[in-house]
């Protein structure tokens, strides 16, 4: 146990020293601008931001440092060493693969391809075991970060599924991850490597809190299996092939399982026939103040049944000073909530409602990758040429 505390202390002190590095703050700046872009999307949907990009960046920085210590402890205790040249081809290949699909920027795909090429063709002999182990550790840390921080910053969205509009949430988080590892390049010496881990997901069939738990569980299972294969491959060379194949295939299966649930599961944020299904509340709104939650159904206001956003606006048109709401709470059942504002009156509850018709909602679509965009453009040009 004493050695573990010494490793933790060593990792923490080294990682904190990276705060003096300008390169580290460049990485943090990149993450800040990512959150700036996401905040613009949140502002378009909610009319404001729950948390500023700076706040999200600082929280990600703290969790990234914690994740870095966790990854460092695993890598140091395992005695893993890497040769920098082993990663010279992996990073460019990951960037090229990301043009096909953004998820391919993950090292599981590029690392698996380069490792297989080295094993089968004998080109650029690399240490497959250490590469697979490092990739497994990074994904294990990522699963921890998704579990602890993945649901933060969720944004409500609407998507078209099976001919109807359904609500859901999109989650985007980024973490700067400095971690300690030993470099084996003629001689062994410690070094700090900085990585960026990202999480992008959406929840249509479950709540974001549950979705992040499921995603973290799947990813950690993938990571543990990959770590076992990498460890076995040190003594049993056949496991180098197994680990190199499992890295991209296992990661793809992990993603497919998550997407399959969202495509074929039961959507929980659909328009209700009995009232207004609440997807979210706006920042600093009355709905937030009286604790209306995603999934609740607003049945009536001051005794008037509400079946559409227009019904709600008509009840609040004359700015009543006091309102009582009948709400079907997802946990408590039928309840009553009250709110009063004798000074200004009540004009808007600040609710994001699941619409019954597409024209009342903001429809989110999955982004096209550069490769798919080019392919679609080529197909369209070819079709016009034939016509």
- So what's the pLDDT on residue 372? 47
| Between 47 and 299, residue with greater pLDDT | 299
Query: What is the per-residue pLDDT across 246-274, written as a single tens digit (0 to 9) for each?
Result: 999 999 999 888 888 887 888 989 888 89
- So what's the pLDDT on residue 380? 57
Write down the domain spans for the chain: 2-264, 276-353
* Class of 276-353 in CATH: mainly beta
- So what's the pLDDT on residue 140? 96
pLDDT at 368 over 90: no
Q: How far is 313 from 28, CA to CA, in rounded Å?
A: 43
Average pLDDT, the chain: 85
The long-range contacts involving 192-197, CB below 8 angstroms and separated by at least 24 positions, are 192/14, 192/15, 192/17, 192/18, 194/18, 194/21, 194/23, 194/24, 194/27, 195/138, 196/27, 196/30, 196/31, 197/64, 197/67, 197/138, 197/141, 197/142, 197/145
- So what's the pLDDT on residue 331? 85
């Amino acid at each position: 146990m004493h050695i573990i505390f010494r490793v933790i202390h060593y990792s923490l002190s080294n990682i904190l020293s990276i705060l003096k590095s300008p390169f580290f703050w460049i990485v943090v700046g990149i993450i800040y601008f990512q959150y700036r872009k996401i905040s613009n999307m949140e502002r378009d949907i909610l009319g404001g931001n729950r948390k500023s990009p700076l706040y999200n960046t600082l929280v990600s920085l703290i969790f990234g440092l914690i994740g870095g210590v966790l990854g460092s402890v695993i890598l140091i205790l395992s005695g893993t060493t890497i040769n920098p040249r082993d990663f010279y081809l992996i990073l460019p290949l990951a960037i090229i693969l990301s043009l096909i699909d953004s998820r391919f920027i993950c090292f599981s795909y590029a690392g698996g391809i380069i490792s297989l090429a080295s094993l089968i063709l004998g080109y650029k002999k690399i240490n497959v075991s250490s590469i697979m182990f490092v990739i497994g550790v990074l994904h294990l840390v990522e699963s921890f970060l998704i579990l602890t921080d993945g649901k933060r910053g969720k944004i409500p969205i609407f998507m078209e599924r099976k001919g109807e509009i359904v609500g859901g949430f999109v989650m985007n988080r980024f973490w700067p991850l400095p971690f300690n590892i030993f470099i084996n390049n003629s001689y062994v010496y410690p070094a700090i490597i900085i990585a960026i881990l990202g999480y992008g997901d959406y929840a249509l069939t479950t709540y974001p809190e549950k979705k992040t738990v499921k995603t973290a569980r799947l990813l950690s299972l993938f990571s543990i299996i990959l770590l076992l294969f990498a460890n076995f491959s040190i003594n049993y060379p056949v496991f180098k092939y197994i680990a190199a194949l499992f890295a991209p295939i296992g990661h793809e299966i992990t993603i497919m399982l998550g997407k399959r649930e969202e495509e074929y599961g039961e959507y929980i944020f659909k328009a209700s026939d009995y009232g207004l299904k609440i997807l979210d509340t706006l920042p600093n709104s009355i709905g937030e103040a009286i604790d209306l939650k995603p999934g609740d159904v607003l049945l009536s206001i001051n005794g008037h049944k509400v079946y559409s956003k227009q019904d709600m606006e008509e009840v609040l048109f004359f700015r009543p000073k006091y309102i009582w709401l009948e709400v079907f709470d997802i946990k408590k059942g039928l309840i009553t909530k009250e709110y009063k504002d004798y000074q200004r009156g009540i004009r808007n509850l600040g609710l994001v409602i699941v619409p019954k018709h597409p024209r009342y909602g903001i429809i989110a679509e999955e982004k096209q990758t550069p490769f798919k965009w080019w392919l679609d453009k080529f197909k369209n040009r070819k079709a016009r040429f034939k016509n």
